[in-house]
Structure 1
Amino acid sequence: MNILEVSNLNIWDVKTGNEIVYNSSFNLKQGSCLAIVGESGSGKSVTCRAIMRLNKSWLRQSGDILFKGENLNDIPEREMRKRRGKNLCMILQNGMSAFDPSCVIGVHLKETLVQHFGWSHNKIEEKMTNTMESVMLKNPTEIMNKYPHQLSGGMLQRIMIALALVLEPDIIIADEPTTALDTISHFEVVEEFIKLRERMGCSMIFVSHDLGVVRKIADDVLVMKDGKIVERGNIETIFSEAQHEFTKYLVSTKEALSNNFKKIMGRSYLAKS
Structure 2
Amino acid sequence: MSLLRVNNLSVVHRNKEQEKQILQDVSFSLAKGTCLGILGESGSGKSMTAKAILGILSRDFTVTGEAIFQGKNLLALNTLELRSLRGLAIGMIMQNPMTCFDPLYKIGNQIFETFEAHNLFPKSEWPLKAIEILQKMHIREPEDTLNKFPHQLSGGMLQRIMIGIAMAMKPDILICDEPTTAIDSITQYEIIKEFKAIKASHDVAMIFITHDISVISHLADEIMVLNKGRVADYGTFQAIMEQPKDAYTKMLIEQKLAVANRYKELLHIAPTTNEAPTMNVPPTTNVVEGGGLC
Q: TM-score range by the shorter chain?
A: over 0.9
The change in CA–CA distance for 1:219 and 1:118 in structure 2 (over 3 A counts) is closer
2:154 counterpart residue number:
152
1:255 counterpart residue number:
257
**Which residue identity lines up with residue 159 of structure 1 in the other structure?**
I
Aligned mates of 1:7, 1:96 — CA distance in 2: 34
The change in CA–CA distance for 1:14 and 1:197 in structure 2 (over 3 A counts) is same
Cα contact 2:133–2:161 (8 A) shared by 1: no
Question: How much has 1:118 moved relative to structure 2?
Answer: 4.4
- Secondary structure (helix, strand or coil) at the match of 1:3 reads strand
Which region of structure 1 is more displaced relative to structure 2, 70-79 or 139-148?
Answer: 139-148
* Structure 1 stretches of at least 4 aligned residues deviating more than 6 Å after TM superposition: none
The change in CA–CA distance for 1:140 and 1:57 in structure 2 (over 3 A counts) is farther
2:229 counterpart residue number:
227
2:8 counterpart residue number:
8
Aligned mates of 1:46, 1:238 — CA distance in 2: 22
State which of 70, 73, 83 in structure 2 corresponds to 1:71: 73
Unaligned runs of at least 5 residues, structure 1: 268-273
**Which residue identity lines up with residue 260 of structure 2 in the other structure?**
S
Aligned mates of 1:105, 1:13 — CA distance in 2: 36
1:86 lines up with 2:88 in the alignment: yes
Cα contact 1:4–1:28 (8 A) shared by 2: yes
Question: How much has 1:182 moved relative to structure 2?
Answer: 0.7
Question: How much has 1:200 moved relative to structure 2?
Answer: 4.9
Which region of structure 1 is more displaced relative to structure 2, 70-79 or 35-44?
Answer: 70-79
Structure with the largest fraction of helix: 1
Question: How much has 1:152 moved relative to structure 2?
Answer: 1.6
- Secondary structure (helix, strand or coil) at the match of 2:138 reads coil
Q: What are the equivalent positions in structure 2 for 1:129-144 lying under 5 Å apart?
A: 129-144=131-146
Aligned length in residues: 267
TM-score, normalized by length of structure 2? 0.87
Question: How much has 1:223 moved relative to structure 2?
Answer: 0.3
Cα contact 1:165–1:200 (8 A) shared by 2: no
Question: How much has 1:248 moved relative to structure 2?
Answer: 0.8
- Secondary structure (helix, strand or coil) at the match of 1:185 reads helix
Question: How much has 1:128 moved relative to structure 2?
Answer: 2.2
2:126 counterpart residue number:
124
Superposed CA RMSD: 1.5
State which of 49, 52, 55 in structure 2 corresponds to 1:53: 55
Question: How much has 1:130 moved relative to structure 2?
Answer: 1.6
**Which residue identity lines up with residue 29 of structure 1 in the other structure?**
A
2:194 counterpart residue number:
192
- Secondary structure (helix, strand or coil) at the match of 1:262 reads helix
Question: How much has 1:69 moved relative to structure 2?
Answer: 1.6
- Secondary structure (helix, strand or coil) at the match of 2:76 reads coil
1:43 counterpart residue number:
45
Question: How much has 1:7 moved relative to structure 2?
Answer: 1.1
TM-score, normalized by length of structure 1? 0.93
1:209 counterpart residue number:
211
| Identical columns (%) | 37
Which region of structure 1 is more displaced relative to structure 2, 119-128 or 201-210?
Answer: 119-128
Cα contact 1:211–1:254 (8 A) shared by 2: yes
Aligned mates of 2:209, 2:153 — CA distance in 1: 24
**Which residue identity lines up with residue 194 of structure 1 in the other structure?**
K
For each residue in 1:156-186, what CA deviation from the matched residue of structure 2 results, as whole angstroms up to 9, or x when unmatched? 1100111122111000000000011111111
The change in CA–CA distance for 1:117 and 1:198 in structure 2 (over 3 A counts) is farther
Unaligned runs of at least 5 residues, structure 2: 270-294
Aligned mates of 2:66, 2:217 — CA distance in 1: 29
1:271 counterpart residue number:
none
Aligned mates of 1:57, 1:104 — CA distance in 2: 33
Cα contact 1:105–1:143 (8 A) shared by 2: yes
For each residue in 1:34-90, what CA deviation from the matched residue of structure 2 results, as whole angstroms up to 9, or x when unmatched? 000011000000111111111234223111111122111122211211101110000
The change in CA–CA distance for 1:144 and 1:55 in structure 2 (over 3 A counts) is farther
